[in-house]
Copies of this chain bind each other. A is one copy, B any other.
């Protein structure tokens, strides 16, 4: 099996991160990993969900969507169907939890930041690209709030990034693209912090269960990828 562009098994696709891709959000990036392109943005709302009212704590909520034309065969529009799918709901919750894991919500204060991840083009790994890109969009927004005096300091505790790994035809691969993902025996999404700890591990056997040995190798691949992503995040964030 030869990967697109002769990629090695432990090699990620070319990454391109374009900050400020659109003008209206407080922070935005176009996050590209190979042919996967996700527009990530962060916008402020001056209120919190009911369960946080009066607690002094803020909130970060994420929404995710595939544009109908982003996929190989057209994805029917969830607004037209009148409800979001289980897959979308699962991804939104994952992005939200991952980003919140590195934010000090007390320091943010009683505000909600909306993270929107809209997939312009889907070629595998859209949920992990969404997490990696949203973290930068959030940082850009927070910096803007700090400059505007809305917050005193940037309430981030660490970096956070994510990558997919999996087993295809018995090979362990880093950063699966769509044709690999759709043939994967095992599919795993891993979210880690800049200090190398885990925020989320979601591993699923598709057709064939996996051993402890497989798991260890997949986690090593993921860690390698995430470390590289965080280097890139740091360079963009000017740190």
Give the interface of A toward B (CB within 8 A): 22-25, 28, 35, 37, 39, 41, 43, 45, 63, 65, 67-74, 77-80, 82-84, 86-90, 92-93, 97, 101, 114, 116, 118, 120-122, 158, 188, 192-193, 195-205, 207, 209-212, 214-215, 219
Contact A23 B198 (CB under 8 A): no
Give the distance in Å from the alpha carbon of A101 to the alpha carbon of B25 in the complex.
34
Complex copy number for this chain: 6
From B41, B201, B214, contact of A203 by CB (8 A): B201
- Pick from A67, A82, A192, A207 the residue with the most CB of B within 10 Å: A67
The DSSP consensus for interface residues of chain A is: mixed
Give the distance in Å from the alpha carbon of A200 to the alpha carbon of B35 in the complex.
28
Contact A203 B198 (CB under 8 A): yes
Give the distance in Å from the alpha carbon of A200 to the alpha carbon of B203 in the complex.
5
Chain A to chain B contacts (Cβ below 8 Å), 18 pairs: A22-B70, A41-B68, A43-B74, A45-B74, A68-B114, A74-B116, A79-B84, A86-B92, A97-B204, A195-B209, A196-B211, A197-B205, A197-B209, A197-B210, A197-B211, A198-B210, A198-B211, A201-B215
